Amino acid sequence: MSFYRFIEQAASGWMKGEGPDSDVVISSRIRVARNLHEYVFPIQANHEQSNMALREILQASRQLDFHNFGEFEWFTLRELNDLEKHLLVEKHLISPQLANSSRNGAVILSDDESISIMVNEEDHLRIQCMLPGLQLQKAWDLAGQIDDVFESQLDYAYDEKIGYLTSCSTNVGTGLRASVMVHLPALVITEQINSIFFAMNQIGLVVRGMYGEGSDAYGNIFQISNQITLGKSEEEMIHTLYGVVNQIIEHERTARRRLLTESGRSLTNLISRSFGILSFATMIDSKEAAQRLSDVRLGIDLDIIRGVSIDTMNELMVRTQPAFIQQFAGQDLNAEDRDVYRAKIIRESLAPRDF
């Protein structure tokens, strides 16, 4: 495999829209943070120390080839240019922190992109597994198997009383972050979203935008994840998140049915207008594009829009991001030119359809 294979297409396997409850849940993600006992943690390590940890981890990663995870390819961040790094960020395969780091970072990717392993980000190892729809348990099982492979080769930093040691205290213990990416347009339209998010915060869950911490929640897409990693087992954390997400799914579906019953004409008009704008606009900024795509996605789920797939919507979420737009254009673009190319990308993906 070559690196180009990972950035040629915007859509990863987890964006296929084929998972359970995919009308509301776009994806499930499990991420575990680990560090090596004998090395200084990345945020304090010098070049030589981080490079030694990198070499040991990449050597250990060769054992992945002897399991049924698919094929893997690894790339050091120093061999990638800025555009290539940010293409990986937009596909959720690496974090912005790793892309912008000057450390000896690397990423190990499975051929279907469901597994992404970051090296020398905030921690020595961040194992990430992403699957379409609500599949938290399956993603955890996969992440656990990969973690076992690395642990058989590496000496993790671990304390008998508190668990795995990490650079940030919020990850100490299990080192687990379980999250789901959800599309909640009806709860936003019916103004129920804030009260639901407030209730989640009270039980140790946190809500962020599509690209995690520090990102805005454009297009009614949110990431919901656990905030506590210490004092509970991984299974308890996943069970809690799974239960809450199931309730959110039901609230969102109920809100959609209510909108159809009580405001069907207005809702159809909103969705139809957004479809028309996306189909014919010659310029569109990222915020408006995200909102219009959310409207159309809702229309597909409610059978108001036909002939357009959820896969297309998921792919456009990524293809309309700045790095992918610049790759599409083949040149650096200013904000106005990006708006022009963004509209072009969307128009070419959405031809006029029957309603």
15-43: pLDDT as tens digits: 777 889 999 999 999 999 999 999 999 98
User: Residue 243 above 70 pLDDT?
Assistant: yes
Is 18 part of any known ligand binding site?
no
Give the whole-angstrom CA distance, residue 258 versus residue 278. Answer: 26
pLDDT of residue 12: 80
User: Residue 355 above 60 pLDDT?
Assistant: no
> What are the distances in angstroms from CA 257 to CA 101, 135, 190, 261, 303?
46, 25, 11, 6, 12
Is 266 part of any known ligand binding site?
no
- Calculate mean pLDDT across residues 269-279: 97
pLDDT of residue 212: 58
| Predicted model pTM | 0.92
User: Residue 272 above 80 pLDDT?
Assistant: yes
Is 47 part of any known ligand binding site?
no
Q: Is 242 exposed, middle or buried (0-12, 13-18, 19+ CB in 10 A)?
A: middle
Is 126 part of any known ligand binding site?
yes
Is 297 part of any known ligand binding site?
no
Fold of 4-233: Creatine Kinase; Chain A, domain 2 (3.30.590)
Is 313 part of any known ligand binding site?
no
Residue range(s) of every CATH 3.30.590.10 domain in the chain: 4-233
Is 208 part of any known ligand binding site?
yes
User: Residue 215 above 60 pLDDT?
Assistant: no
**Which tens digits make up the pLDDT trace of 50-59?**
999 999 999 9
Is 338 part of any known ligand binding site?
no
Is 323 part of any known ligand binding site?
no
Is 210 part of any known ligand binding site?
yes
Is 263 part of any known ligand binding site?
no
